[in-house]
């Protein structure tokens, strides 16, 4: 549990999953089985809300649909939540996880009020020469929509397709090079400000979402 930086979304966060790990310093809420169970319940409840929001709005998208001041408060609360999970006691985890749930709900209300469009899951299917059916989805959150119905179905997310193309550059090159065409880098991802921070040890200057 020595890690001090983990600023991914709740669904991606590698949260503590055991009371003791050899050679590492566990967070304070891991002191006893009872405090661990109580703290993990708070973390799991938070993750359920984060999963719900990301299924509704898309991965990492909701915070970009709200005004800048609200997004800043949300990111500050994410920092405090990570700080509590990795370095705090049980009451810290309880307080910050519950505030993080409130933060998710606040963004959800703001995005709806602003007329933000939720993500509509889509599945594309194609049959290969082997007879297998390949289902293409935007993310594995959409994989739940795939209905095998007795068929042999292999599901690929867009991230996996990108990984496959990166692994076989000759395929990507053949698709990209043709007369009169040029391929330029297009920035499609807005950076996460918490990625620039080395860890979650430092105090933050205010407590949002009181």
User: Domain-by-domain residue ranges, the chain?
Assistant: 28-118, 123-176
Q: Is the pTM of this model over 0.75?
A: no
Task: Give the pLDDT band (50/70/90) at residue 78.
Answer: very high
- Ramachandran category for residue 70: left, alpha or beta (phi over 0 → left; psi -120 to 50 → alpha): alpha
At 170-206, the pLDDT tens digits run: 766 665 665 444 434 445 557 777 887 788 888 887 6
Task: Give the pLDDT band (50/70/90) at residue 38.
Answer: very high
CA 33/CA 25 separation, integer angstroms: 16
Beta bridge partners of 156: 136
- List phi, psi (to 5°) of 112: -65, -40
Q: Is residue 21 predicted with pLDDT exceeding 90?
A: no
Helices 158-167 + 169-176 axis angle, to 10: 100
Q: pLDDT above 70 covers what percent of the chain?
A: 75
The residue with greater pLDDT, 106 or 20, is: 106
At 106-150, the pLDDT tens digits run: 999 999 999 998 877 788 888 887 878 888 888 776 776 677 777
Residue 204, helix vs strand vs coil? coil
Hey, which of 29-43, 51-65, 156-170 has the most confident mean pLDDT? 29-43
- Mean pLDDT, the chain, integer: 79
End-to-end Cα spacing for the chain: 28
């Amino acid at each position: 549990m020595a890690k001090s930086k983990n600023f991914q979304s709740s669904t991606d966060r590698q949260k503590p999953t055991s009371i003791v790990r050899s050679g590492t310093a566990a967070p304070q809420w891991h002191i006893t089985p009872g405090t661990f169970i109580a703290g993990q319940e708070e973390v799991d409840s938070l993750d359920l809300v984060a999963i719900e929001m990301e299924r509704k709005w898309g991965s990492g998208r909701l915070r970009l649909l709200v005004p800048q001041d609200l997004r800043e408060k949300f990111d500050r609360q994410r920092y405090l939540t990570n700080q509590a999970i990795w370095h705090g006691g049980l009451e810290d985890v309880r307080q910050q996880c519950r505030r993080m749930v409130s933060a998710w709900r606040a963004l959800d209300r703001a995005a709806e009020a602003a007329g933000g469009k939720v993500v509509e899951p889509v599945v594309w299917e194609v049959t290969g020469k082997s007879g297998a059916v390949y289902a293409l989805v935007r993310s594995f959150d959409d994989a739940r929509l795939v209905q095998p119905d007795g068929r042999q179905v292999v599901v690929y997310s867009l991230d996996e397709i990108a990984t496959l193309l990166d692994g076989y550059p000759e395929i990507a090159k053949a698709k990209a090079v043709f007369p009169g065409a040029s391929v330029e880098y297009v920035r499609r991802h807005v950076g996460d400000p918490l990625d620039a921070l080395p860890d979650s040890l430092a105090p933050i200057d205010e407590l949002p979402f009181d």
